[in-house]
């Protein structure tokens, strides 16, 4: 599977949150961000929080590696809403941070609607 490595521009307080949240979940930061994006693309629909586009707000660059196909899907989704890919990722991190349901967990939604594979012999 081809991976895309690059940077995204985030509000200065989001990279430390993403790092801490990934550690809490026992994941690498890129894996956590991939799950957020995949859930947005393949899980139940939800509204994204509004991010102030004010250019005066301090933003920092954060390294992000993810499967190329996932990144392209995310870029298409961002374009549909007239967002940059970075803005979409900002919104997904903030959405996860603001969740009031069991915020200690992270559900991973399947990419397809096919039934789960069965383990033979059990």
CA distance 122 to 17: 40
The predicted-structure confidence for 28-55, as pLDDT tens digits, reads as follows 999 999 999 999 999 888 888 877 667 7
SS3 19: helix
Residue 122: its pLDDT value, please? 64
SS3 60: strand
Note whether 89 and 17 are within 8 A (CB): no
Residue 94: its pLDDT value, please? 93
Q: Any residues with CB less than 8 A from the CB of 30 and at least 6 apart, and which? A: 64, 65, 66
Residue 101 scores a pLDDT above 80? no
Give the pTM: 0.84
From 113, 117, 120, 16, select the one nearest 60 (Cα to Cα). Answer: 16
Residue 85 scores a pLDDT above 90? yes
The predicted-structure confidence for 2-16, as pLDDT tens digits, reads as follows 787 889 999 999 999
Share of the chain above pLDDT 90, in %: 59
The predicted-structure confidence for 65-83, as pLDDT tens digits, reads as follows 999 999 999 999 999 989 9
Residue 100: its pLDDT value, please? 67
Note whether 3 and 67 are within 8 A (CB): yes
φ, ψ at 39 (rounded to 5°): -60, -40
Note whether 74 and 37 are within 8 A (CB): yes
CA distance 88 to 78: 6
């Amino acid at each position: 599977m081809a991976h895309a490595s690059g940077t995204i521009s985030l509000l200065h307080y989001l990279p430390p949150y993403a790092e801490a949240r990934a550690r809490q979940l026992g994941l690498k930061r890129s894996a956590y961000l991939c799950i957020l994006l995949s859930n947005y693309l393949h899980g139940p629909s939800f509204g994204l929080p509004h991010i102030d586009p004010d250019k005066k707000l301090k933003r920092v660059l954060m390294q992000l590696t993810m499967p190329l196909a996932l990144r392209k899907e995310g870029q298409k989704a961002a374009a549909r809403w007239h967002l940059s890919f970075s803005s979409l990722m900002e919104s997904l991190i903030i959405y996860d941070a603001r969740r009031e349901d069991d915020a200690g967990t992270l559900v991973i939604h399947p990419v397809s609607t096919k039934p789960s594979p069965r383990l033979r012999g059990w």
